[in-house]
């Protein structure tokens, strides 16, 4: 026993010696080489030079070993995939070699076996969408200003600092397989296509290119009229068509590996083809034709809804389904994971597994607009896994969202996935150290859409928090002690974190009850006079003295019928609708008897309480791991957890006290009482607390 304690104390001492202050800037790429490697590569290119350098800088294998990098065609390898073996890496492309190198290093550093296998990406295009504005602000960004754009006199000059940062960004992306970046907000400024802005795009593309990252731009559909001086932006107008063709030519003459356009059209006030009586297909195809000679693609968003429809959740499907088969081959329809927005929980969008002749790509939100921004610790991999593994039944069982979008169910001309980025100029890139895990997870799932959240969390924790001992391979430091006292509890916390957020924000299918505009705190009451109803929470929760929930069954808006059978009927039927989607699909009386035997009102109360208690538990977990984390990161995360806890309390109090006005039932007495008054919460709901 004494022996055990002294070993424990010794190990703690060892760890603390190696807990150098870390500002998080190195992300999951903080581990350095611990021995020498002899890299043999017969070809040379900027990408291969990076691959060789990465191996030399990160090698943690046997000292003096020879690693052979071979670029050679192999039918088993697709796209930029690779074949990994203990002797080296083989790929069809230079980029495949680079991805293989990152995989090899990751396996070394996380202690995974390196055996012969082929790794092919699930999606051809794995893209980060930056909602960055030309003045440097970021829509729904919580980690500082843009790394690409800024305001002021030097806005368009390219400095060495810019290049260094873009290179670090490109490296991080490439290390997890991301191969595209949309550089500007989907609410796009037409200015972005002007000559001077394109020059900066070119400079960015030159830095990103060797890492295999293509640049894309969000475009404003009115650009021909706004910056081209044309009378119209009608997609069928010959002058407009000519203008876009000329613009595409101009872009590709500057940026030969340019990826294409992302378009938010006829949505939330953005211009689009419908302004001219044209369809989404007319608009998308016109742009696709302009990009086609250069190999570019159009990612056309399906995020559309109008205030007149009675159920926002149905609209994207209704608008896009009739257009199936009408889009050009180089158009991909980009669909958010859920049918409404990026809520803490939504059923998957029925547009997944719907169209058979159109390429469809998922859009996830990495930035935590609706999930506590850069304050709450919420690991999003579980949410994306839930979506990707959802059964659509498009072609019978096994037609998951993942398989319907990666071309396994119906072949797609192109396959792609996008994540709305959470990075900015903050030193640690993401604001919250654990938000880095979401960037990491997005890349890993984009590469392999069947990875589990648990595996991703495991990798990320090891790469991000493992003790660093010069000369010692990281994986040798994963002692039983470190695993039991750090890895396992922190992983558990990450894996529970999204469910906790759902519990304290909007459990049981409740959705979109955020305070107006900032989307951080609760605002189930928010309904200023004159505001379009679908921008107010009462439109979604529909609470009244009889009950709450959105009736989307066949007796209601019939959104359930947008899902294939047997799913549509499962959602429709109270006996088979999963609790987690109950109030998404059903309006139920407060005393409705749940599967648990409780009344609906009580169940709601227990969920809010559970969510709050889960965050309090996270605080304890984190406090206990203090000796395994450097002080800077420990304190930052501890303080963020305190704020998260305070905010979870606000959520619980606000929602229970507000809905109680309708339920007129007591909050179960074994639940801790609210500590805030509803009037105060309402008065202050425009502040982000």
- Active site residues per annotation: 268, 341, 369
Q: For ligand GCV, give the closer residue by CB, 376 or 519.
A: 519
Closest approach of Cβ 342 to ligand GCV, in Å?
7
The verdict on whether omega for the bond into residue 102 sits within 30 degrees of 0, i.e. cis, is: no
**Residue 295: closest CA among 432, 124, 458:** 124
Choosing from 74, 112, 139, 551, the residue that interacts with ligand GCV (CB under 6 A) is: 139
CB count, 10 Å around CB of 165? Answer: 17
Closest approach of Cβ 270 to ligand GCV, in Å?
8
Do 311 and 345 contact (CB within 8 A), yes or no?
no
Q: For ligand GCV, give the closer residue by CB, 334 or 474.
A: 334
Which DSSP string do the residues of 326-359 spell out, in sequence order?
Answer: -S-TTEEEEEESSSSSS-SS-PPPTTTTT-SSSE
Q: For ligand GCV, give the closer residue by CB, 26 or 139.
A: 139
Q: For ligand GCV, give the closer residue by CB, 514 or 601.
A: 514
Q: Any contact of residue 280 with ligand GCV (CB under 6 A)?
A: no
Choosing from 49, 56, 120, 187, the residue that interacts with ligand GCV (CB under 6 A) is: 187
Distance (Å, rounded) from C-alpha 181 to C-alpha 255? 14
Choosing from 211, 244, 303, 581, the residue that interacts with ligand GCV (CB under 6 A) is: 303
Q: For ligand GCV, give the closer residue by CB, 74 or 139.
A: 139
Query: Is residue 419 within a helix (H) or strand (E), and if so which, with residue range?
Result: strand 416-420
CB count, 10 Å around CB of 570? Answer: 18
The b/e string for 261-281 (b: 16+ C-beta within 10 A; e otherwise) is bbbbbbbeebbbbbbbebbbb
Task: Name the 3-class secondary structure at 650.
Answer: helix
In the range 500-519, which residues lie near ligand GCV by CB under 6 A?
Answer: none
Q: Any contact of residue 137 with ligand GCV (CB under 6 A)?
A: no
Closest approach of Cβ 534 to ligand GCV, in Å?
11
Q: Decide the pairing of beta strands 359-365 and 65-71.
A: unpaired
Closest approach of Cβ 519 to ligand GCV, in Å?
6
Q: Any contact of residue 341 with ligand GCV (CB under 6 A)?
A: yes
Q: For ligand GCV, give the closer residue by CB, 342 or 581.
A: 342
Residue 271 corresponds to which tokens in the numbers above?
A: 């211009």
Handedness of CA 312, 385, 523, 432 (dihedral sign): negative
Distance (Å, rounded) from C-alpha 486 to C-alpha 635? 16
In the range 74-133, which residues lie near ligand GCV by CB under 6 A?
Answer: 131
Closest approach of Cβ 479 to ligand GCV, in Å?
45
Do 240 and 286 contact (CB within 8 A), yes or no?
yes
Q: For ligand GCV, give the closer residue by CB, 369 or 391.
A: 369
In the range 235-264, which residues lie near ligand GCV by CB under 6 A?
Answer: 264
Distance (Å, rounded) from C-alpha 36 to C-alpha 365? 40
Closest approach of Cβ 267 to ligand GCV, in Å?
6
The count of chain residues that interact with ligand GCV, using the rule CB under 6 A, is: 10
Closest approach of Cβ 298 to ligand GCV, in Å?
16
Do 543 and 590 contact (CB within 8 A), yes or no?
no
Which residues sit at the interface with ligand GCV, rule CB under 6 A?
Answer: 131, 139-140, 186-187, 264, 268, 303, 341, 369
């Amino acid at each position: 026993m004494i022996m055990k304690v002294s070993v424990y104390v010794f190990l703690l001492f060892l760890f603390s010696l190696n807990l150098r202050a870390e500002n998080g800037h190195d992300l999951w790429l903080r581990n350095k080489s611990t021995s020498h490697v002899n890299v043999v590569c017969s070809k040379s290119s900027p990408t291969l030079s990076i691959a060789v350098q990465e191996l030399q800088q990160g090698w943690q294998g046997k000292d003096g070993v020879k690693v052979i990098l071979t670029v050679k065609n192999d039918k088993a390898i697709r796209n930029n995939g690779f074949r990994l073996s203990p002797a080296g890496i083989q790929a069809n492309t230079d980029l495949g070699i680079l991805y293989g190198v990152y995989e090899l290093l990751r396996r070394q550093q996380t202690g995974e076996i390196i055996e012969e296998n082929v790794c092919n990406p699930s999606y051809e295009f794995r893209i980060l969408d930056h909602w960055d504005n030309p003045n440097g602000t970021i829509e729904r960004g919580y980690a500082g200003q843009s790394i690409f754009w800024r305001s002021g006199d030097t806005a368009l000059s390219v400095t060495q600092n810019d290049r260094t940062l873009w290179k670090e960004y490109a490296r991080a992306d490439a290390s997890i397989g991301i191969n595209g970046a949309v550089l500007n907000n989907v609410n796009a400024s037409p200015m972005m296509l002007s000559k001077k802005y394109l020059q900066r795009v070119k400079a960015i593309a030159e830095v990103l290119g060797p890492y295999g990252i293509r640049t894309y731009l969000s475009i404003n559909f009115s650009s021909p009229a706004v910056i081209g001086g044309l009378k119209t932006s009608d997609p069928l107008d010959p002058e407009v068509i000519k203008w876009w063709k000329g613009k595409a030519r101009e872009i590709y003459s500057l940026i030969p590996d340019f990826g294409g356009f992302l378009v938010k059209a006829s949505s939330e006030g953005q211009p689009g083809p419908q302004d001219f009586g044209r369809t989404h297909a007319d608009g998308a195809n016109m742009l696709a034709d302009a990009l086609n000679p250069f190999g570019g693609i159009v990612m056309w968003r399906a995020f559309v809804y109008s205030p007149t429809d009675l159920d926002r959740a149905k609209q994207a499907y209704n608008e896009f389904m009739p257009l199936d088969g009408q889009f050009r081959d180089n158009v991909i329809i980009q669909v958010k994971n859920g049918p409404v927005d990026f809520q803490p929980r939504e059923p998957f969008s029925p547009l997944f597994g719907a169209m058979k002749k159109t390429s469809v790509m998922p859009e996830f939100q990495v930035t935590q607009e609706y999930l506590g921004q850069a304050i709450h610790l919420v690991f999003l991999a579980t949410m994306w896994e839930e979506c990707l593994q959802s059964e659509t039944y498009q072609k019978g069982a096994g037609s998951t969202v993942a398989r319907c979008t990666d071309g396994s169910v119906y072949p797609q001309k192109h396959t792609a996935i996008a994540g709305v980025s959470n990075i900015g100029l903050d030193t640690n890139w993401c604001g919250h150290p654990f938000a880095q895990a979401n960037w990491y997870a997005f890349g890993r799932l984009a590469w392999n859409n069947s990875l589990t959240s648990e595996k991703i969390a495991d990798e990320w924790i090891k790469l991000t928090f493992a003790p660093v001992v010069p000369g010692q391979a990281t994986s040798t430091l994963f002692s039983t002690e470190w695993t039991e006292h750090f890895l396992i509890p922190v992983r558990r916390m990450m894996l529970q974190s999204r469910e906790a957020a759902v519990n304290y924000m909007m459990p049981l299918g409740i959705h979109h009850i955020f305070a107006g505009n900032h989307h951080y705190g609760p605002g189930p009451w928010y309904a200023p006079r004159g505001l379009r109803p679908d921008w107010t929470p009462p439109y979604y929760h529909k609470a009244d003295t009889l009950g709450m929930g959105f009736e989307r069954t066949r007796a209601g808006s019939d959104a359930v019928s947008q899902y294939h059978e047997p799913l549509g009927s499962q959602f429709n039927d109270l006996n088979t609708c999963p609790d987690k989607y109950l109030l998404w699909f059903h309006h139920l009386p407060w005393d409705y008897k749940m599967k648990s035997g409780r009344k609906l009102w009580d169940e709601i109360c227990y969920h809010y309480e559970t969510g709050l208690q889960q965050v309090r538990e996270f605080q304890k977990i984190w406090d206990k791991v203090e000796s395994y984390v450097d002080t800077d990161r420990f304190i930052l995360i501890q303080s963020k957890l305190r704020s998260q806890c305070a905010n979870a309390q606000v959520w619980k109090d606000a929602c229970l006290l507000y809905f109680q006005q309708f339920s007129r039932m007591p909050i179960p007495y074994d639940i801790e009482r609210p500590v805030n008054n509803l009037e105060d919460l309402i008065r202050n709901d425009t502040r982000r607390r």
